[in-house]
């Protein structure tokens, strides 16, 4: 892979294979997410979506191939700018015995930047992130009394508090009501308009259809589609599916403007 291929990439995955136990869960995955691009990662249950995003976050070891985040190989952990990368996992283990406030959960997103975590500026960032998901008024409440949708918003705030350049979010629409889905779509649309690169795992495009620029579909740990979202017009013959950009044009580093918020939630 040439250096120029990765120069504007938020994510570059090349020949990735992952074994977990006896099974080959990811089998030769290659994909690229340009900076500022919004990628939908789709596929049936068990196709390997969560494993792939966990690999991106350095949470699952690689058997073969490589993964670069903003040009840094994740095997060299210290070289990766984790403090500007936000991750919202599919599931969180919540322990009701621990009375953790929304503010504390969100502040934990700043642990990669100790000065910010401890300082007053950090507290401002935490409140700003809670504001972004419409929960500023609930900062001091224990997350264990929150609904599933509210808990998920706290986790989104924990990712947003980093002001991420890359946001990776695993099945955010599962188990939340339509109104919350629309509010989340608006939040992601705003981040997109600000140039954030977004990788979002989805069952279907749903309310996120307007902001998904490209989809990668997994089947049994392999990429079976990489290109335009299913419902949009077919890609032009010049579309380079592997690199997600049109040949002869510079890579996309910006995205269109869509803005809104969680107001009224």
**Under the rule (CB under 6 A), what is the footprint of ligand ADP?**
20-21, 23, 25, 43, 45-51
DSSP characters for 147-193? -HHHHHHHHHHHHHTT--SEEEEESTTTT--HHHHHHHHHHHHHHHH
Which residue, 6 or 89, is less far from Mg ion as judged by CB? 89
Closest CA to 56 of 38, 33, 22: 33
Show the site string, 69-108: x = touches Mg ion by CB under 5 A, - = not: ---------------------x------------------
Applying CB under 5 A, which of residues 50, 132, 196, 197 lies at the interface with Mg ion? 50
* Gap between the Cα atoms of 167 and 200, Å rounded: 8
In angstroms, give the least distance from the CB of 199 to ligand ADP: 13
* Gap between the Cα atoms of 265 and 249, Å rounded: 41
Which residue, 124 or 175, is less far from Mg ion as judged by CB? 175
Beta bridge partner(s), residue 112: none
Angle at CA of residue 161, ends 157 and 164, nearest 5°: 105
In angstroms, give the least distance from the CB of 64 to ligand ADP: 16
* Gap between the Cα atoms of 103 and 190, Å rounded: 22
Handedness of CA 182, 233, 239, 54 (dihedral sign): positive
How many residues in the shown chain lie near Mg ion by CB under 5 A? 3
In angstroms, give the least distance from the CB of 48 to Mg ion: 8
DSSP characters for 93-157? ---TTS--BHHHHHHGGGTTSHHHHHSHHHHHHHHHHHHHTT-GGGTTSBGGGS-HHHHHHHHHH
DSSP characters for 231-255? TSPPPPTTEETTTTEETTSPPP---
Which one of Mg ion, ligand ADP, none interacts with residue 64, CB within 5 to 8 A by kind? none
Which residue, 50 or 245, is less far from ligand ADP as judged by CB? 50
Which residue, 132 or 215, is less far from ligand ADP as judged by CB? 215
Stretch that binds Mg ion, among 22-30, 44-52, 124-132, 209-217 (CB under 5 A): 44-52
Q: Which residue is nearest to Mg ion (CB)?
A: 50
Which one of Mg ion, ligand ADP, none interacts with residue 99, CB within 5 to 8 A by kind? none
Which residue, 45 or 93, is less far from ligand ADP as judged by CB? 45
Which one of Mg ion, ligand ADP, none interacts with residue 140, CB within 5 to 8 A by kind? none
In angstroms, give the least distance from the CB of 44 to ligand ADP: 7
In angstroms, give the least distance from the CB of 91 to Mg ion: 8
Which residue, 1 or 20, is less far from ligand ADP as judged by CB? 20
Burial of 112 (0-12, 13-18, 19+ CB in 10 A): middle
Which one of ligand ADP, Mg ion, none interacts with residue 20, CB within 5 to 8 A by kind? ligand ADP
Name the residues that contact Mg ion, by CB under 5 A. 49-50, 90
């Amino acid at each position: 892979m040439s250096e120029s291929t990765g120069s504007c990439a938020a994510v570059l995955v090349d020949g990735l294979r992952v074994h977990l136990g006896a099974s080959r869960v990811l089998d030769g995955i290659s994909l690229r997410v340009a900076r500022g691009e919004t990628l939908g990662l789709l596929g049936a249950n068990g196709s390997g979506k969560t494993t792939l995003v966990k690999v991106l976050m350095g949470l699952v070891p690689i058997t073969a191939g490589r993964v670069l985040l903003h040009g840094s190989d994740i095997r060299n952990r210290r070289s990766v700018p984790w403090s500007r990368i936000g991750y919202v996992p599919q599931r969180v283990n919540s322990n009701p015995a621990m009375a953790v406030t929304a503010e504390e959960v969100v502040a934990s997103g700043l642990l990669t930047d100790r000065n910010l975590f401890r300082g007053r500026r950090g507290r401002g960032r935490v409140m700003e992130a809670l504001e972004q998901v419409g929960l500023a008024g609930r900062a001091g409440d224990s997350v264990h009394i929150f609904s599933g949708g509210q808990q998920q918003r706290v986790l989104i705030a924990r990712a947003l508090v980093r002001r991420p350049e890359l946001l990776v979010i695993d099945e955010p629409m599962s188990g939340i009501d339509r109104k919350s889905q629309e509010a989340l779509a608006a939040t992601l649309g705003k981040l997109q308009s600000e140039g954030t690169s977004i990788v979002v795992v989805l069952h279907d495009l749903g309310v996120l259809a307007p902001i998904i620029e490209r989809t990668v579909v997994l089947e049994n740990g392999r990429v079976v589609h990489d290109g335009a979202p299913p419902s949009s017009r077919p890609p032009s013959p010049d579309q380079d599916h592997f690199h997600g950009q049109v040949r002869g044009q510079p890579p996309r580093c910006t995205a269109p403007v869509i803005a809104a918020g969680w107001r009224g939630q």
